[in-house]
Amino acid sequence: MSHGHLTLPRPLAPRSRFYQGPFGRICPDLPPWTLDRQPHEIDAFLLEFANRRMLEAPGKTPGDIVADPTLRDDLAARFDSKIPAGYTYFGQFIDHDITFDPTSLLMRRNDPNALLNFRTPRLDLDNIYGRGPADQPYLYDRECPGKLLIGRVRRASTDDEEPDIKSELCDLPRNGQGVALIGDPRNDENAIVAQLQLAFLLAHNELVDRASRRKDSDPFESARQTLRWLYQWIVWKDFLARITVDEVHACALRLEATCGGRRRWTCGLEDIYAWKHQPFMPVEFSVAAYRFGHSLVRNSYQTNQPFRGFGVHVPIFDNVPGSNDDLRGFRPLHRGNVVQWDWFLDMASPDPFPQPARRIDTRLSNALAFLREGPSGDPLNVLAYRNLRRGLAFDLPAGTRVAEKFCVKPVDPGDDGLDALWFYILREAETLPGANAGQMLGRVGSLILCATFAGLLKGDPASFVNVQPCWNPDADGLLRPGTDNRDSADGDWTLAAIIRLAGLPVRGADVERQDTGARS
């Protein structure tokens, strides 16, 4: 999930319902939530609150947690959810897609607010395709027309192995300095989201091969349309269905019969999120509700059996200066960080896998209080503080006021009394009754997410919702129904289908086999 920028700019998002621009508001009539403190006291209060109240293990460093199995097990018992860990980073991947900004740096500097014609949020995989092979040829493979460029994991020079064995483990394509050549550089932020980016690159290439064998006139466009529509299907039918209230998800976007024997998709939450000419990005969504994903992040993960081994936990972000043994990105992938996908997704894995994401609650992993994105000691390196401060900068309304506007019974703000919309949505999820506590978003969070995603799909003239309303993956000629491209655990088209389509390693034996490669 995107961390947001270190600076806290105020976007052009007026409260007028007549305004049409890149950002807008779901609740323009609600006043901003404010803290009952003097202006000079606010930063200190929010930073103290973030470090004391919003960490899984206050006072501990990420290194302390990774090194202490007893503490790790205790945190897992208290904070683990039933959501597979891979969806944490799929959420981040989606965020980078719908907030992709293809305008040039010069254009943004000269006219930073004139992004209306360039930044329509869509689930169209622009973070994969960029501006296309004509405008960004360095993203594409010149030797294989229509395919995206793929890199390889390099073996360390100290490896004592036969020189004629070449690794077939894949990485993002990179230049000589290790910088990823991809449509959105943010998708190299950590090793897990980087390998999701890689999965989509490889899935596209596989679909190009199938379209070529089928003798399509334009294999690239055939592959791109199928992958985009499969991605949209997975976002709505798999990702959103896992994390939102069933009733809200079911009514937000429905395929209904209409006159003449036709069927069409209708949005049931247009009173919450509606647009006139083209969709905008609601700040209640981007600055608050969608940042629920930060609570899913674990301090550490097990990556693969062959090169790390079972039980070895790798920190997502290591707070030790000079240490690189973590899952941070912006560097070439090495074998120890290759994701074994049955440890991250439902792929018929034996217990205790897949690793679960953390619960959706008001506690964040300690790793997110030690981000190395700014100068040492910068409070914006504490992600919870950054999110709270950002909500104030964007004039977001109080969570309880949004609940009342939606005619939803507000949750008790508790002793903390913090009514910031982002914190409220986390508290709402954490206080769901019974076994649902922390396993999904509550009503307010679900309504904002489902209304926004439904509106984005309906507002995209190239989505399957509009172009071919009755499309589904089983009916697509480039996808093979009934084969292992589907999630064999439940037979549905889920995120696991992208991994299988890409041919990335699912089990430890796959990691080892691909690393062994073929003799040259």
Per-residue pLDDT, averaged over 448-472, amounts to 97
- Is residue 107 a part of any domain in this protein? yes
| pLDDT of the residue at 323 | 72
Three-class SS state of 220 = helix
Four-CA torsion 125, 130, 133, 135, nearest 10 degrees: 150
Distance CA 426, CA 362 (A): 5
| pLDDT of the residue at 73 | 95
Chain centroid to Cα 358, Å, comes to 15
Question: What separation, in Å, do the N-terminal and C-terminal C-alpha atoms of the chain show?
Answer: 40
- Is residue 244 a part of any domain in this protein? yes
Distance CA 9, CA 13 (A): 12
- Is residue 14 a part of any domain in this protein? no
From the number of C-beta atoms within 10 Å of its C-beta (0-12, 13-18, 19+), residue 482 rates as exposed
Whether 62 contacts 367, CB under 8 Å: yes
| pLDDT of the residue at 159 | 52
Which one has a higher pLDDT value, 108 or 466? 466
Beta strand pairing call for 23-24 and 281-282: parallel
| pLDDT of the residue at 4 | 56
Per-residue pLDDT, averaged over 284-305, amounts to 97
Q: For residue 101, give every residue at least 6 positions away whose Cβ sits within 8 Å of its Cβ, in sequence order, or none.
A: 108, 115, 118, 119
Distance CA 102, CA 233 (A): 24
- The beta strand positions in 352-450, using DSSP E, are 356-358
Average pLDDT, the chain: 89
Residue that is written with structure tokens 């202006």 in the block:
39
- Is residue 232 a part of any domain in this protein? yes
Q: What letters, b where the CB count within 10 A reaches 16 and e where it falls short, cover 344-372?
A: bbbbebeeebbbbbbbbbbbbbbbbbbbe
Q: For residue 114, give every residue at least 6 positions away whose Cβ sits within 8 Å of its Cβ, in sequence order, or none.
A: 107
pLDDT digits (tens, 9 = 90+) for 323-381: 789 999 999 999 999 999 999 999 988 889 999 999 999 999 999 999 988 888 899 99
The one-letter amino acid at 398: A
- Among 86-100, 150-164, 272-286, 335-349, the minimum mean pLDDT is found in 150-164
CATH number at residue 109: 1.10.640
- Is residue 475 a part of any domain in this protein? no
pLDDT digits (tens, 9 = 90+) for 25-60: 999 999 999 998 998 899 999 999 999 999 999 999
How many of the other CB atoms lie within 10 Å of CB of 31?
A: 11
**Would the pLDDT of 104 be above 50?**
no
Which one has a higher pLDDT value, 483 or 80? 80
Whether 224 contacts 131, CB under 8 Å: no
| pLDDT of the residue at 156 | 60
Residue that is written with structure tokens 């993956």 in the block:
473
pLDDT digits (tens, 9 = 90+) for 139-178: 999 999 999 999 999 876 445 555 445 688 999 999 999 9
What sign results for the dihedral spanned by CA atoms 240, 241, 245, 248? positive
Distance CA 121, CA 118 (A): 9
pLDDT digits (tens, 9 = 90+) for 490-517: 458 999 999 999 999 999 999 999 998 6
Distance CA 304, CA 406 (A): 45
From the number of C-beta atoms within 10 Å of its C-beta (0-12, 13-18, 19+), residue 407 rates as exposed
pLDDT digits (tens, 9 = 90+) for 375-425: 888 999 999 999 999 999 999 999 999 999 999 999 998 888 899 999 999
Q: What length is written for the chain?
A: 520
Beta strand pairing call for 253-257 and 263-267: antiparallel
Q: For residue 177, give every residue at least 6 positions away whose Cβ sits within 8 Å of its Cβ, in sequence order, or none.
A: none
- Is residue 17 a part of any domain in this protein? no
**Would the pLDDT of 488 be above 60?**
no
Per-residue pLDDT, averaged over 83-100, amounts to 95
- Is residue 277 a part of any domain in this protein? yes
pLDDT digits (tens, 9 = 90+) for 9-26: 555 577 766 566 788 999
Three-class SS state of 178 = coil
Nearest alpha-carbon partner for 250 in 234, 271, 272, 266 = 266
Whole-prediction pTM: 0.92
**Would the pLDDT of 205 be above 80?**
yes
Residue that is written with structure tokens 């992938």 in the block:
333
Which domain range does residue 446 map to? 47-468+490-519
Which one has a higher pLDDT value, 110 or 171? 171
CA 175-231-197 angle, to 5 degrees, is 20
- Is residue 22 a part of any domain in this protein? no
Number of domains in the chain: 1
